[in-house]
A and B are shown apart, each in its own frame.
Chain A
């Protein structure tokens, strides 16, 4: 049985979480396989919420699965698909079933997903969502009505250290810190110097917040170039692309695992931040190799 995530944040020197992306459909066999593989090797399994605005098995349902299999779930919740009523109701349900870590996100636009004609809700934004969870934590709903049975969530938020321009992002980030969060999980980072500057900035606003660096597994030079061109807020430096390009055919992913391991090791050795969050998008089965490469 995994140690509670919030416990790990407080006590462990280096926290590791991994992302679990639910699939499309009611067959959860593969998901369960991943949960079993990872639940004892990481401090939390972080479940995406209709990631990239593509309709999938729900985050909440997956978190329950993780619970059932003895893992420690982190519930991602976005503002895209639910209004303030639904979000509060979902949070009450989650807590009642032992899910008490929540990562508050804005959510990708429906325009990038597979239901482009859907109504984008965005009744709240991520900062308001953090305030909402605090309200629930205090025993009241967001309009001030008493709750019969309160909640106590460990609250997380996201950040984009490589955004360009960075200034508007930092202002929003400071608002998240101001609202009060226990941990920060960043977008994928590759340039550690830039990341260090970001951490320094964050510490100025909130010295205690735990920062988990986002590590996305690169599977080849093509993916890296694609992300640079198409995924906002991600920047893979050219030397990493070159390194991936030089890998023998079919070995790109091995190089990617090596790069991820190296990054994690450096973050840990230099104590740049408090841990990492590994996103092996669609290749969750390779996470143990990354951990090995990182010496964890």
Chain B
């Protein structure tokens, strides 16, 4: 799932400065689940924007909306009526949703309210961690299902760096586990340490041509 985080209010206000009527559009999928851009967050941001502009005595009227998925052109179409009445759109979706809205409503300025951060999973209530960097060349089969590309701070492929801290945490953050210590422990448990002893060639960074595009075989 895509994980995002809301931008500071100041930055969002800077983008919409001068617009008097805006649409704040939430997205009901990934960013709702990661508490960044769902219906609840649309309400909070809108309320904050109203409070801030009334505090300054500027005029701002806000239309609130939240659709199922902003990354689908057809679903974004649902916003058309509301978009017609506003001067600008603040999208609370990931970068994909923002661009989809911008493509569909080309004539209106679209501003991102979130920073799209990574693909991850919920670790606990309200805590998400990055798990995949979509390298296009998955190697989880030989690392015990633990991705060194994303979970090792340096993305090393042949084992830990010398920075592993006492007990097996990462050089850059004692709170984070060294991915290679985790990989070692899991492979050891599975009796597959030979996988870790193998040499792995430098990674193919062209596994996916960027910008990526996939055309699935037609069934």
Chain A: residues with CB nearer than 8 A to chain B? 79-80, 84, 106-109, 111-112, 120, 122-128, 131-132, 142, 158-160, 163-165, 167-169, 171-172, 174-175, 178-179, 187, 232-233
On whether the beta carbons of A164 and B167 are closer than 8 Å, the reply is yes
On whether the beta carbons of B154 and A172 are closer than 8 Å, the reply is no
On whether the beta carbons of B162 and A122 are closer than 8 Å, the reply is no
Point out the residues of chain B lying under 8 angstroms from A142, CB to CB: 202
Whether, in the assembled complex, B61 has its beta carbon less than 8 Å from a beta carbon of chain A, the answer is: no
17 interchain pairs (CB within 8 A)?
A79-B154, A84-B202, A106-B154, A109-B153, A111-B153, A111-B172, A125-B157, A142-B202, A158-B162, A159-B162, A160-B164, A167-B188, A168-B164, A169-B162, A187-B162, A233-B163, A233-B164
* Docked pose: A258 CA to B184 CA in angstroms: 39
On whether the beta carbons of A165 and B165 are closer than 8 Å, the reply is no
CB of A132, distance to nearest CB on chain B (Å): 8
Point out the residues of chain A lying under 8 angstroms from B153, CB to CB: 109, 111, 120
* Docked pose: A195 CA to B165 CA in angstroms: 18
Interface string of B173-192 (1 = CB under 8 A from A): 10000101101100010000
Point out the residues of chain A lying under 8 angstroms from B201, CB to CB: 128
Q: Give the residues from 158 to 174 in chain B that come closer than 8 angstroms, CB to CB, to chain A.
A: 158-168, 171-173
Interface centre among B159, B162, B205 (most CB of A within 10 A): B162
On whether the beta carbons of B172 and A106 are closer than 8 Å, the reply is no
CB of A139, distance to nearest CB on chain B (Å): 19
Closest to A128 in B: B202
* Docked pose: A106 CA to B160 CA in angstroms: 10
Whether, in the assembled complex, B2 has its beta carbon less than 8 Å from a beta carbon of chain A, the answer is: no
Point out the residues of chain B lying under 8 angstroms from A164, CB to CB: 164, 166-168
On whether the beta carbons of A232 and B165 are closer than 8 Å, the reply is yes
* Docked pose: A159 CA to B159 CA in angstroms: 12
Point out the residues of chain B lying under 8 angstroms from A167, CB to CB: 184, 188
CB of B42, distance to nearest CB on chain A (Å): 31
* Docked pose: A258 CA to B98 CA in angstroms: 64
Point out the residues of chain B lying under 8 angstroms from A123, CB to CB: 202-203, 205
**Cβ-closest 5 pairs across A and B:** A172-B159, A168-B184, A111-B172, A127-B158, A160-B162
Point out the residues of chain A lying under 8 angstroms from B188, CB to CB: 167
On whether the beta carbons of A108 and B160 are closer than 8 Å, the reply is no
Point out the residues of chain B lying under 8 angstroms from A178, CB to CB: 199
* Docked pose: A169 CA to B196 CA in angstroms: 11
* Docked pose: A84 CA to B204 CA in angstroms: 12
Closest to B188 in A: A167
Whether, in the assembled complex, B193 has its beta carbon less than 8 Å from a beta carbon of chain A, the answer is: yes
On whether the beta carbons of B180 and A233 are closer than 8 Å, the reply is no
Given contacts A171-B193, A172-B159, 14 further A-B contacts (CB under 8 A): A106-B154, A112-B171, A120-B154, A122-B156, A123-B203, A125-B154, A125-B161, A126-B158, A126-B161, A160-B164, A163-B162, A168-B196, A172-B160, A232-B171
On whether the beta carbons of B158 and A128 are closer than 8 Å, the reply is yes
Whether, in the assembled complex, B197 has its beta carbon less than 8 Å from a beta carbon of chain A, the answer is: yes
* Docked pose: A163 CA to B197 CA in angstroms: 18
Interface centre among B158, B181, B205 (most CB of A within 10 A): B158
Closest to A173 in B: B159
Point out the residues of chain A lying under 8 angstroms from B200, CB to CB: 128
Point out the residues of chain A lying under 8 angstroms from B154, CB to CB: 79-80, 106-107, 109, 120, 122, 125
Interface centre among A142, A158, A164, A168 (most CB of B within 10 A): A168
Point out the residues of chain A lying under 8 angstroms from B199, CB to CB: 127, 131, 175, 178-179
On whether the beta carbons of B162 and A106 are closer than 8 Å, the reply is yes
* Docked pose: A167 CA to B163 CA in angstroms: 14
CB of A269, distance to nearest CB on chain B (Å): 28
On whether the beta carbons of A109 and B184 are closer than 8 Å, the reply is no
* Docked pose: A163 CA to B163 CA in angstroms: 9
On whether the beta carbons of A232 and B157 are closer than 8 Å, the reply is no
Interface string of B39-73 (1 = CB under 8 A from A): 00000000000000000000000000000000000
Whether, in the assembled complex, B109 has its beta carbon less than 8 Å from a beta carbon of chain A, the answer is: no
Closest to A230 in B: B165
Point out the residues of chain A lying under 8 angstroms from B203, CB to CB: 123
Interface centre among A107, A126, A165, A178 (most CB of B within 10 A): A165
Whether, in the assembled complex, B155 has its beta carbon less than 8 Å from a beta carbon of chain A, the answer is: yes
On whether the beta carbons of B164 and A163 are closer than 8 Å, the reply is yes
